[in-house]
Amino acid sequence: MYVKLFESFLDSTVWMEDDHVVRIWLAMLLLADRDGIVRKPIPGLAHRARVNLSQCRSALDILSQPDPDSQSKVEEGRRILRLDDNEPMWLIVNYEFYRQLQSEQQRREYHAAYMKRYRALKKTQKEESSINTDENVKSVKECEIYGEGPLRHRELDRDLYSKEPKGSSSVSVPPPDVDWIFKQWNECAATYGLTQCRTISPERRKLAQARLGEHGEGSIQAAFNEISQSDLLRGDTKRGWKPTIDWVLKKANMIKVLEGNYREKRGRGGFDPNSAKQKGEVF
């Protein structure tokens, strides 16, 4: 099974464990089905990870324990859950969340392809508009030469100065896909206990399209990743405030999140989420 690994794996607490734990964890990620379930006898799992049985059982026990230092708070930071005591079957916690994420390079390629199509369509529309305008100007001059009546002049004026020149074809540019933004937010919200987006209203879709056009897919992903770096954005403050998708998609807020304004930098002049003076900058 193919699985994507993200750079954040190097910052996880699993990476700090002994080699046999990391081996088992990587083997389980590769052996999981599309639902994140690993069905493998312990001897077989040990063989695939190239560890002995004792190390395999030790690793499974460590991955099943709560981890207070884990970036994810789902299941108290556990990496796996034993689904059946009678069968060797485990569920990888948050597997669906990471499987759904597209790499930043893929998103950049999608955005680049979309903008290429958009520019090509706009260029075609501009050329067709220019051709039709030239034809209308020529007709006006011919009318003046041959002395045709005022009605003909009014018709030509209407065609010449209308918003859509006569004979022009309307080229529609499809809006960029933003459903992935709300889906990814919901997965992030589930991880950190934030409010999920239940309805994609036209206003929300318009906000998402605007931020996507301004910053690109990679920056949207980076903004959601900033939540793991900020107590404030996770709601882990005395005030208990938590961001919503509407708050994140506001232009000014998106810029602040991307610039890392809400990361904890106490003692170095940075943002302190519990500071009464700086609360006004957020709320």
Burial class (CB in 10 A: 0-12, 13-18, 19+), 110: middle
pLDDT in tens, 103-147: 555 566 666 777 787 788 878 877 777 666 655 555 545 544 444
Residue 131: the pLDDT is 65
Tell which phi-psi region holds residue 269, choosing left (phi > 0), alpha (psi between -120 and 50) or beta. Answer: left
pTM of the model: 0.40
Percent of the chain past pLDDT 90, that is, above it, reads: 24
Handedness of CA 49, 52, 55, 57 (dihedral sign): positive
Which parts of the chain have pLDDT scores under 50?
Answer: 140, 143-169, 266-274, 276-281, 283
User: Which CATH number applies to 7-100: 3.40.710.10, 3.40.50.10610, 3.40.640.10, 1.10.10.10?
Assistant: 1.10.10.10
219/107 Cα distance (integer angstroms): 10
Residue 192: the pLDDT is 85
Residue 18: the pLDDT is 92
Residue 248: the pLDDT is 93
Q: Compute the chain's Rg from CA coordinates.
A: 28
Residue 69: the pLDDT is 83
pLDDT in tens, 31-43: 888 788 999 899 9
